[in-house]
Chains A and B, each alone.
Chain A
Amino acid sequence: DAGVTQSPTHLIKTRGQQVTLRCSPKSGHDTVSWYQQALGQGPQFIFQYYEEEERQRGNFPDRFSGHQFPNYSSELNVNALLLGDSALYLCASSLRQTSSYEQYFGPGTRLTVT
């Protein structure tokens, strides 16, 4: 049973560029959430996708956008990168119908903006 997978593992971008991160949820899951974890901090909720729509959004600017595909996989896009966007980006999947909303996390994508 495959868990949550993310790609790429590491990424280096230059300020002002755009980046796309990818996530495949755990088998059987239909909901994907994205979190940003800055160095030495706890993860911060970016947004969640279910049925190919953004369902909830955290306190992040519009430069952060996402997409969910019919196979439940998801992408996180960040435009006009800033140095402060350097972080570990975590994807978590869950099954919406279960009341526990238990989230399973992937290993993350380490983004470095120079």
Chain B
Amino acid sequence: GNSVTQMEGPVTLSEEAFLTINCTYTATGYPSLFWYVQYPGEGLQLLLKATKADDKGSNKGFEATYRKETTSFHLEKGSVQVSDSAVYFCALRGVSSNTGKLIFGQGTTLQVKP
């Protein structure tokens, strides 16, 4: 079945450091891929998405490229801020899904220190 695996956290960085959070997936065909962010005490917010191979999703300085050959969708940001501290979830929607059902990874906690 479809699944998503994320690097374990927590990831602790200093402000302005470079961020990478790894995400790999298992799925048939070409699923749609997403990154969601969850700030403390809040629900999930869509951060970015990519729907086909080699697409690059970007938003608020974050980027992720859909790599079919490595089944990966790693999240990157060139310079993190304290306000980026949150839990980040990688997710996929299967190609055969007609309901939009999302399959999530376990989440990676990011802590950014001043």
Binding site for B on A (CB under 8 A): 4, 31, 33, 35, 40-45, 48, 50, 55-56, 58, 90, 92, 94, 100-108
Contact = CB atoms under 8 A, between A and B. Distances in A.
A94 to B, nearest CB: 5
B59 interface: no
Nearest to B97: A101
A88 to B, nearest CB: 8
Interface in B84-105: 89, 91, 93, 97, 99-105
B31 to A, nearest CB: 12
Contacts of A102: 46, 49, 100
B57 interface: no
Contacts of A45: 101-103
Most B CB within 10 A of own CB, among A50, A100, A103: A103
Contact of B99 (A40, A43, A100, A101): A101
B39 to A, nearest CB: 10
Contact of A105 (B4, B41, B44, B101): B44
A42 B105 contact: yes
A74 to B, nearest CB: 14
Given A41-B107, A42-B89, A103 B102 contact: yes
Contacts of A58: 101
